[in-house]
Structure 1
Amino acid sequence: MERRTLAKNAKSLLYWGSILSLFSLIPIIGSLLGLIGVILYFVGLYEWKDVDDRPFTLGIVQLILGLFYVVLLIIGMESGFFSTLSFSKAFYIGLLYTYPLTAIVTMLTRYQVQYFYEATEEESFLTAKKLYLVGILTFPFIVGIFIGFAGRIFEIIGYSHMTDTPKVLKGREFGIDIRQMGAIFAYALVLSLLIIHVMTPRYDITLRKGKVEVFIKKGEVYDVKVVYHGRCWGSCIKEISVDGKVVYWGNSYSYVNEKQIVTLKISANSSMLTINAQDGVYTFSLS
């Protein structure tokens, strides 16, 4: 016999939590609103346990994976290599680094909205489920981000329109297709690695001492990028010499992700690179 329960409060929390979480895309003030939204959403999932405990369980798994996502992104962006890229390219490659994890989180979201549909029969959840799949498959091509966002909008519409008295489904099996999850993860991993390989510049020489990294691309002349890990008042790199001749004296530089970047062109016959930085002198042999 079908049993129903009143879930009006959970419905309201899920709806407003989802809306506020969208504000996390807005810098500064959006972070606070987004955090409030996530908290409200999880409280809503917790209250929904009286209806179905599966969405809350998957929400906890997604939260843990989200923490790994942040750690992975921070570790990747700490690499001096990222600082040699333009902001847009570094941001895009950063997304690709986390794409396999994003794919798993999105697939779990598809199961969540499926569970909400089973309890409420609200069609918007099925639309969201389809859009999430298309979105994650096309995520690396940017359009997938917008498709996934559309899926999120339909999910929010589902929370708004779903019944206040859903069917009680506590104790149901998760019914997660492990093979499908594995296939999506493998697809995301292979595609992200392939695109990263194509997009990333190749350096013939990579050197590091202390806070200084040097990237060199060989040619008729050497293209050199010197990366200093850390910020200073003014230029952290005071002077750069090649074979005893000063070629840079702190006159031009840029900062990317808290790292100072100096770009140079030097002779292919150069044998010694000396960098006078704020915390000491670094010498690199190029021969």
Structure 2
Amino acid sequence: MTSVKNAKSFLYWGAILSLLSFIPFIGGLLGFLGVVLYFVGLYEWRDIDDRPFTVGIAQIILGLFFVVFLVIGMEHGFFATLSFLKAFYVAMLYTYPVTAIMVMLERYLVQYFYEATGEESFLKAKKMYFIGFLTTPFLVGILINLIGRVYEIMGYGSMTDNPKVLKGSELDISGRQIGGAVLYSIALSALIIYLVTPHYDVKLEKGKVEVLLRKVDGKYEAKVVYHGRCWGSCIREISVDGKVVYTGTSYAFVDGKQIVSLTIPVNSSVLVVNDGYERYTFNLK
């Protein structure tokens, strides 16, 4: 069965190349090539069982939502933490509900291959994917999902050239199971995001300037946010109770917003922000 052998080769090498997407510089190209080869394999496999191809198309669509949530999560995470690693973690938590659906669908996909080939590696992959789905927010789940992918690749390399023809079989995907996975992922990701992102005691806003204050060890950790674009530092000067505490030196930009981080006394009364054109006065009491 030439088409089966072709499908095996495409699935095997496509899955391997998709794992190399994390390699710097060439990883993106290899990963894209892997996805293309993998889907060619799923397409070829349709003569045996068309369910994996259908699931693969659904995963591609979900992948678009994954990218959207990743971008939103990075912006929110970096704005809240001003740390790339923490922001990336928050972004991954934002994508967790989508990831959960994709992983659960992957469990169905390998189950379909097991039903057609009887290859035990697919069952091992299915088990790893379930454990990985549950533990993804704790990062160890990423490694477990990777192990599941390795088992899946082993299955493609070892499956028979004479599989059982199951074309036209029902998908038999449990909506309750998928729904439960989504609810679990939303609840867990929301809890962890709440725990890892800072919460502010005071939020003030005037014009283009926003002031966020969080009480820590008897002092205020302050973030002064300028909502506007400009060359260099938009905020020229910040003073607290008449004393200049910032003169346009250190700052960060997040999505076009300048952010200045300061530590000020908790008994501060007045904070003034000067952008060179206007002075914004905030009463902190």
Normalising to structure 2: TM-score of the pair? Answer: 0.87
Contact 1:131 1:148 (8 Å CA) reproduced: yes
Q: Which residue of 2 aligns with 1:221?
A: 219
Bigger Cα displacement from structure 2, 227-236 vs 96-105: 227-236
Q: One-letter code of the match for 1:147?
A: I
The number of equivalent residue pairs is 282
Q: Which of 4, 9, 13 lines up with 2:6 in the alignment?
A: 9
Whose relative contact order is higher, 1 or 2, with alpha carbons under 8 Å and at least 6 apart?
1
Work out the CA distance in 1 between the residues paired with 2:30 and 2:279. 45
Aligned residue number for residue 251 of structure 1: 249
Q: CA separation in 1, counterparts of 2:227 and 2:31?
A: 31
Give the distance between the partners of 2:150 and 2:228, measured in 1 at CA. 40
Which piece of structure 1 moves more, 141-150 or 218-227?
A: 218-227
In the alignment, does 2:105 pair up with 1:98? no
> Cα offset for 1:225?
1.6
* Larger deviation, residues 131-140 vs 82-91: 82-91
User: Which residue of structure 2 lines up, in the alignment, with residue 274 of structure 1?
Assistant: 273
Question: What secondary structure does 2:49 align onto?
Answer: coil
Q: Which residue of 2 aligns with 1:143?
A: 140
CA distance in 2, matches of 1:76, 1:192: 12
Does the C-alpha gap of structure 1 residues 200 and 175 become closer, same or farther in structure 2, counting only changes over 3 Å?
same
- Cα pair 1:80 1:227 within 8 Å, conserved: no
**Residue of structure 1 equivalent to 2:171:** 174
The separation in 2 between residues aligned to 1:203 and 1:210, in whole angstroms, is: 20
| One of 178, 198, 203 as aligned partner of 1:201 | 198
Mapping of 1:91-170 within 5 angstroms? 91-170=88-167
Q: Deviations over 1:107-165 (max 9, x none)?
A: 00000000011111111111000000011111122211111110011111111111233
- Which residue of the partner structure matches residue 59 of structure 1? 56
Change beyond 3 A, Cα 1:211–1:13: farther
Change (3 A) 1:200 1:46: same
Contact 2:80 2:197 (8 Å CA) reproduced: no
Match of 1:283, SS?
Answer: strand
Q: Residue 284 and residue 152 in structure 1: after superposition, are their counterparts in 2 closer, same or farther (change >3 A)?
A: farther
Contact 2:121–2:152 (CA under 8 A) maintained in structure 1: yes
- Determine the C-alpha separation between the residues in 2 that align with 1:105 and 1:211: 41
Over aligned residue pairs, what C-alpha RMSD do you find? 2.7
Q: CA deviation at 1:11?
A: 1.2
SS at match of 1:185: helix
Measured at CA, do residues 176 and 250 of structure 1 come closer, stay the same or move farther in structure 2, by a change above 3 Å?
Answer: same
- Residues 12 and 232 of structure 1: is their aligned pair in 2 closer, same or farther, counting only changes over 3 Å? farther
Distance 1:157 1:126 in 2: 11
Alignment deviations for residues 6-28 of structure 1 (CA, whole Å, 9 cap, x no partner): 41111111111111111211233
Whole-Å separation in 1 of the counterparts to 2:227 and 2:19: 33
Taking structure 1 as reference, are residues 77 and 283 closer, same or farther at Cα in structure 2, changes over 3 Å only? farther
- Tell me, yes or no, if the aligned pair for 2:48 and 2:166 is still in contact at 8 Å: yes
SS at match of 1:138: helix
The alignment-based identity, stated in percent, is 63
TM-score normalised by L of structure 1 = 0.87
Q: Which runs of 5+ in 2 are unaligned?
A: none
Between the aligned partners of 2:77 and 2:109, the Cα distance in structure 1 is: 38
CA–CA separation in structure 2 for the residues paired with 1:198 and 1:116: 40
Which whole-Å deviations, capped at 9, do the CAs of 1:230-283 have from their partners, x for residues lacking one?
A: 887654543333355432112223456776542112243333331427xx6572
Alpha-carbon spacing, 1:72–1:274, altered in 2? closer, same or farther (3 Å): same
- Picking from 28, 31, 42, the partner of 1:31 is 28
The equivalent residue for 1:74 is 71
Matched residues in 2 for 1:61 and 1:265: separation? 49
Offset, 1:85: 3.9
236 and 11 in structure 1: CA distance in 2 versus 1, 3 angstrom threshold: farther
